[in-house]
Each structure stands twice: as structure tokens, then as C-alpha cells.
Amino acid sequence: MRLPRLIPLLLGGLLTMIPAQARPEPPHPTTFSIVAADPATGEAGVAVASRFFAVGTVVPHATADVGAVATQSFANTTYGPRGLAFMAAGMSPREALDELLGPDEDRAKRQAGLVSADGRSVTYTGDECLAWAGGRAGENYAVQGNILTGEDVVIAMEAAFLASEGQPLAERLFLALSAGDAKGGDSRGKQSAALVVVREDAGYGGFTDRAVDIRVDDHADPFGELERLLGLALVNDLWNRGWTAFTRGQFPEALKWQELCAQKAAGQSVHPEVLYDLAVIRVANGDRPGGLEALRHAVTGNPKLRAAAAKDDDLQGLGAELPAPK
């Protein structure tokens, strides 16, 4: 009866005899990332990829009207919220980074990138980060990575971001991340990726700042899957902007975003529902013929929407004008 109680003690004794370097350690989010801001649109964001499970739970942090932080390489996850708090209090990214590194005894192992909402940026790579490790920074962006195939990864990321000026920030972040992957990316391989973009009142109903928030936690082709999700996320962002404006009685503004949403959603699984809300918003703007056209296409794409249209007060009786089903 005493033997089971002795087993843990014996195992504990054996573990103390194993050299420290031989003991397995949990994986670390060694990875490549970009933090960036678009002061013209009020957006900031992070894109990251790694041979690490669910890297999106560790590296990216962003707050609208403040900026974005990436924390990686033996990541100290407090760098995200603390770095954002420092910048929100008025510190520059450089000053915020110094506050993060100062008391951190393991700062030589850390890597981080910070960008403020107005475009100031800084990247940091500790002397003990695993090679290849380094970064580049400029106005509106910072890129960084460790255990990469080489410096050309971050060079390609920087070039892709700069060449895509004028495109939506989420697309620029993805292009930069993909360019790094094309140059070899994480030398250990691929597993996960994430992309976050924040903007004031961007989330569903205008209650959060998350314009885009997507993750691929474990996938053989995380970049392909992230690109698929990004297509949906960009539609969803336009949809949120349209519907939020509608609920606030801003009908012309709602129509602008919902028309763009319908164009971008063409061919996607969400298209019928997007068209349904477009019908509602067109009717609110006094365009009943346009509303009927959108509603007819919506019901053709998803016949179940016909029943909803018949009872929807926002359609002002437009559901009764639908052609009879064949």
C-alpha cells in the first residue's frame, strides 16, 4: 500500500539527476510578424506566422487609436497590454519599449515590435534570440522575426508593405506576411498564423474595435487558410459598417458600405444574406425598386430568406412584392 506513494518521490529524485539542458521545454513562439498603422484610416494591426500552435493567442495585441504590439521569442505576453497602456498614456513606441525592457531580466531573449496610431514605430531583438533574428522599422510599420531562414525574410516583408501603400491595412499586412513566407519564413516550417486590425467602433454593432480578427491555429497551409478567412473578414467588416450605420439612422452612410460589401461578397457563401441587408438599406434610402432587386437575388441564393422577408418590418412590405416561387 505504500508503493504508490513512493513513486512520485522516486520520479522526482530521478528528474533532479537529469541535466537541465536535456529536459524538454515547452515550445516558444519563435516567429515572424509585422505591426503597422494607417493614420489616414485610423487603423492599426498585426500579422504573424509561426511553426507554433495558436500563435495568435500570444503575439498580436492592438487597440484602436493607440497602436499595436507584437511580442515573441520566449514571449513575455505582458508586453502586449503593458506596451499599449504606455502608448495610451502618451509614450512613444521607443519609450514604451524601454519601459518594458528595463525590469525584464530575460530581455536578451525577447523580441518585440511596436507601432503607435500616428505611425511611429520601433523593433527590438535581444542578443540571445535564436538565429536568424532581427527586424526592420520605418514610418507606420515594424517587422521582426527569429529562427528565420535569413534576413531576406524581413527585407521582403518590408518591401511588400511599402509597395502596397493605398490598399486596406489588413490586405497590406497579409501581403507582407506572405512575402516573408515566400522567402522561407520560419526555418522550422509552418503551423499557425493570425491577423488583427483595429479601428474605433469597428466590431459588430460598433461595440468593439475589432475590424478584422482571424486566426489559423493549426493547419498544413496556414497562409492559404488565412487568406480565405481574410476574404470573409473584409466582407464582414464592410457589413458591420453598413449595418451599424443603419441601426444609428445614418442611411446614406449605411448604403455606401453595404453596396461595397455586396460587391466584395459576390461569389461567397454569405452573399444572399448580404443582399438581404442591402435590400433593407436601399428601402431605408427610398429605393424600393433597388431593394426589390437585391431581395429577389437574396431569396434566389437562399430560399429560406423568403419567410423572413414576409415578416420584416424594415422591408416595408417589400417581401409581398417578390415573384412567386417556381
**pLDDT digits over 33-63, tens only?**
999 999 999 999 999 999 999 999 999 999 9
The whole-number pLDDT of residue 325 equals 83
CATH number of 31-237: 3.60.20.10
The whole-number pLDDT of residue 15 equals 39
Could you tell me which of 188, 113, 193 has the C-alpha nearest to residue 154?
113
The whole-number pLDDT of residue 18 equals 41
The whole-number pLDDT of residue 189 equals 86
Scored b (16 or more CB within 10 A) or e, 121-153 reads bbbbbbeebeebbbbbbeebbbbbbbbbbeebb
Could you tell me which of 279, 280, 240, 271 has the C-alpha nearest to residue 257?
240
Domain ranges in the chain are 31-237, 249-321
Flag residues of the chain having pLDDT under 70.
1-30
In angstroms, what CA-CA distances link 246 with 51, 89, 198, 296, 310? 42, 34, 21, 21, 20
